[in-house]
Amino acid sequence: MILQKAATSAPFDARVHAQLGYCYAHLQQRTAASSELTMAESYNAEKEPLVEDLLAECYQLLGDTLKAIDHYKTFLGSADAVGAQGEQFRSTRQALTNVEMSLTPHPVTIKTLLDFSQDELDNVLKSNLSHTELALVVNPLACSSGMARWARELVGDAGNDLEKAKRLFVGLARRINTGESVNRRTAIEAYRDWPDAKAKFMCQDYTLLYVSLARSLGLKAYYVLVGQDHSGKFVGHACAAVLLTSQALLVDPGNGSVITNDTNDGNSLARRPYCAGRAFSSVAAGGVWRLGFCGRGMLVVKGRSKLLTQKISIALHR
């Protein structure tokens, strides 16, 4: 590899290490990428702007948002000092704005939700399904003891629900994901495949895993189905919502586009500027979304039997 040879011949060149780290990140080799970026930082004592810009992009790809923000600010500070202008600088300023917005919570007010406890859900299913039908139903939000333990490790000593939700988001957003899977996973299956750096995850995988982990911590977390994006385009996207008293935060550790609107299920939601990138907020330009309750629209039927799916839906909405 050319860059590896360059790093050998120029071991103290910050730009070479930053470029090598960028390549490793795209190859989903997180440990190698982090090592190269650390060396690039140590050898960039003079804060060369191009190196700072590349470091910011790399850390954003790695999901280390705070480091990305620091390097974006250093790069732009150098540009401002010499009065630099141009498309690259405008683009970087927008990237910094997007990243900062993605970490700024903007709760939205929602109406009171009718919720299902696990026991209530089990009782409804047992009362309306035969043993054969019941065997075909899987709760994709089920959580294992290992998952619950991992969730506690991710949030550490977080003192309140907001901090727990945010630390959990940061933990999942750090995954390098350069493509989408065509196979849907339950939360348990997503957790099983998480250590595999080459495994590709789709928005629903991230959402189910986040909601399951959040609920294991006692958070009121829900699946959110997004039907329309900020531009009015109809989409099929999933993200999570965490309820804090009478307000909700939309959380998207995978794709990152968070969508709010003022006509969702009677909720009054303010339209806000669109925020691209992985997001922990409700910053968006509008769209159509709805919360999925425990059980409503969230049960997986093996074999995808439409008749059984309809039967479950009728039972849950009585």
pLDDT higher than 90, residue 93: no
> CA angle, 267 as apex, 212 and 239 as ends, to 5°?
30
Query: Which band of pLDDT confidence, cut at 50, 70 and 90, is reported for residue 277?
Result: very low
126-171: per-residue pLDDT in tens? 888 888 888 888 888 899 999 999 999 999 999 899 899 989 988 8
CA distances from 86 to 52, 90, 92, 93, 185 (A): 17, 6, 10, 11, 44
pLDDT at residue 187 in the model: 94
Region 42-66: mean pLDDT is 86
143, 216 Cβ separation under 8 angstroms: yes
Helix ranges restricted to H, 144-282: 145-155, 161-173, 187-193, 203-216
Q: Say which CATH superfamily domain 2-102 falls into.
A: Tetratricopeptide repeat domain (1.25.40.10)
pLDDT at residue 236 in the model: 74
Which one has a higher pLDDT value, 92 or 227?
A: 92
198, 189 Cβ separation under 8 angstroms: no
- Which sequence spans correspond to the domains of the chain? 2-102, 108-316
pLDDT at residue 114 in the model: 60
pLDDT at residue 189 in the model: 95
pLDDT higher than 90, residue 214: yes
Say if domain 108-316 classifies as CATH 1.20.1300: no
Give the length of the chain.
318
CA distances from 314 to 123, 126, 295, 308 (A): 14, 14, 12, 10
Which one has a higher pLDDT value, 244 or 85?
A: 244
This prediction has a pTM of 0.70
pLDDT at residue 210 in the model: 95
